[in-house]
Structure 1
């Protein structure tokens, strides 16, 4: 009787242990899922998307084996962002990555619990994404791109190239939250340098030629293109073509990747691929248990300047040696 009882206990205990093994195995085999949202089509943002993927690989992750990447592309349509955000939240991804302020807004409205890593965002404190840069205090952290500061630097570069600059057109999309910040900084920088700013607006691709024509009609000497959201970057060739058509020297407040080669006269901004690569580290830390509210918002450490000599020649301009010596990318 005792023998049978002991055998029964051993068998029962063994069954319990065997039953627990699959559960532990499932826990060990959990593959973290990361959702990342882009405004532009994949073909347009592939250098930046690939930089994020490279950052994950550098940390030892293998896609579809040790990490799953749920990428979504809004095809340049801002109105699709809320639905994409809700879809990823319903999918219960472990971390969300947002490479633009308007994307953060959509994700923030969709969830207050899933961690969100900003990868290229303007003024996260001003927009209420975090309580402070050092202590975010929310489910959001990541990287600020110092976009507003880049606007001022681009204006300085344009003035250096165009000493007679008196009227500057600034192209913005009023549908995105960054537009007001860009205009405020542009006006502040222009006041210091002694010239006027004239905003021109584009809410869709069909507006670009009209916006540049308006700048020309207002006798503006140059155009600053704010690329804080995907619409302008997706349609960069269209904007550059319109600027060339109206003989308008154009600077883009963004790094030269894909802009200098497309014909932009000037482009200056934070190195976006570097920020995407670095944001992978925050994703890794969150996956391993860190809380976003405890991870300080970081700022870019690399900035890039691009110039296009062919565009300058077509406009009858000579790019100053002082600018050429600082340029990271020169297209002839």
Structure 2
């Protein structure tokens, strides 16, 4: 009787421990994947991230409908909906939850400590609390980082090359999408590196845009950096129009944000990252623990210049930037 009680107790302990660990290897059935994203999955994103992910999986022998299924959820640009979307996906009992961009990754982090998560295109995963280190994440999350503060500094350099006479530049951002600590520490470093004043302009949506641009005029802003987040993506057409109407040179965080009013974009190559993320998913489906799968860093950056927008804004594109551009829109 004592032996049976001890065995039962041991089984209960093992069950409790296993419930806290990421799921094991998928054998004998199609794998179940889930995908969480904040912006609406419109055609540009379908092409840039969904198609790229499926291509990467196909290259590894995973064919949708044959040996895996995938369930999508989008918060349609509404940050507050992400926790609900994450819970909906987790009720489907996925083997791996894939997230796109920082807000979705943070929602997944809060929603589960057991389901393996592959977080794609996040900022610094250690600073965000997604991982203990790049080489050994330690929890249920691994993924691909896309450079955060470093790439913003590079965008500011590109902006300065476009408008070398500007004494002040602005940053348009959604305060809800900025991590703990806000922008102030980074602003200090960027201003030192750039040698000119940088003014932040918070905007949570279209009702804030007119006020932000009016403030830029009052402050004598000569160029604008537009942060890449769900807010600016959802309203990219309006913001591009406002940049044209106000003759505001602007640099953005992704080519899909450019609709005719943006001068340039400098960003990690999104299709490359999502294609590469398939390898991380494959490792987990074969039994690897995400906490032991190193976080990767995006290795391919893309500079896109809209020469047509430059002409409309009366901006001369420096020859050096033209030569270094990966793509020029004519």
Per the alignment, residue 226 of structure 1 pairs with: 227
Runs of 4+ in 1 over 6 A off after TM superposition: none
Spell out the pairing of 1:288-303 with structure 2 (5 A cutoff): 288-303=286-301
1:242 to 2:245 alignment: no
TM-score normalized by the length of structure 2: 0.87
Per the alignment, residue 201 of structure 1 pairs with: 202
CA contact (8 A) 2:240 2:259 kept: no
CA contact (8 A) 2:166 2:222 kept: yes
CA contact (8 A) 1:261 1:331 kept: no
Deviation at 1:99, TM superposition (A): 1.1
CA contact (8 A) 1:121 1:143 kept: yes
Secondary structure at 1:42's aligned position in 2? coil
TM-score normalized by the length of structure 1: 0.87
Per the alignment, residue 192 of structure 2 pairs with: 191
Equivalents in 1 of 2:50, 2:206: separation in Å? 23
CA contact (8 A) 2:307 2:317 kept: yes
Spell out the pairing of 1:266-281 with structure 2 (5 A cutoff): 266-281=264-279
Relative to structure 1, the CA distance from residue 179 to residue 169 in structure 2 (aligned partners, 3 Å threshold; closer, same or farther) is farther
Secondary structure at 1:325's aligned position in 2? helix
CA contact (8 A) 1:34 1:69 kept: yes
Relative to structure 1, the CA distance from residue 203 to residue 225 in structure 2 (aligned partners, 3 Å threshold; closer, same or farther) is same
Deviation at 1:179, TM superposition (A): 8.2
Per the alignment, residue 251 of structure 1 pairs with: 251
Answer 1 or 2: higher relative contact order, Cα 8 Å, separation at least 6: 2
Relative to structure 1, the CA distance from residue 263 to residue 54 in structure 2 (aligned partners, 3 Å threshold; closer, same or farther) is farther
Equivalents in 2 of 1:110, 1:28: separation in Å? 25
**Higher mean displacement: 180-189 or 311-320:** 180-189
CA contact (8 A) 1:61 1:67 kept: yes
For residues 62-94 of structure 1, give each alpha carbon's deviation from its aligned partner in whole angstroms, at most 9, with x where no partner exists.
Answer: 112201011111111111100011111122111
CA contact (8 A) 1:306 1:327 kept: yes
Relative to structure 1, the CA distance from residue 55 to residue 102 in structure 2 (aligned partners, 3 Å threshold; closer, same or farther) is same
For residues 33-72 of structure 1, give each alpha carbon's deviation from its aligned partner in whole angstroms, at most 9, with x where no partner exists.
Answer: 1111111112141121111111111111111220101111
CA contact (8 A) 1:269 1:304 kept: yes
Deviation at 1:259, TM superposition (A): 3.4
CA contact (8 A) 1:251 1:265 kept: yes
Relative to structure 1, the CA distance from residue 145 to residue 208 in structure 2 (aligned partners, 3 Å threshold; closer, same or farther) is same
CA contact (8 A) 1:36 1:98 kept: yes
Per the alignment, residue 17 of structure 1 pairs with: none
Deviation at 1:173, TM superposition (A): 0.7
Aligned residues: 303
Unpaired runs of 5+ residues, structure 1, are: 1-26
CA contact (8 A) 2:263 2:306 kept: yes
Equivalents in 2 of 1:69, 1:179: separation in Å? 32
Deviation at 1:186, TM superposition (A): 4.2
Equivalents in 2 of 1:52, 1:236: separation in Å? 24
Spell out the pairing of 1:1-332 with structure 2 (5 A cutoff): 29-43=28-42, 44-47=44-47, 48-178=49-179, 184-227=185-228, 229-252=229-252, 254-256=253-255, 258-332=256-330
Flag the structure with larger Rg.
1
Deviation at 1:147, TM superposition (A): 2.1
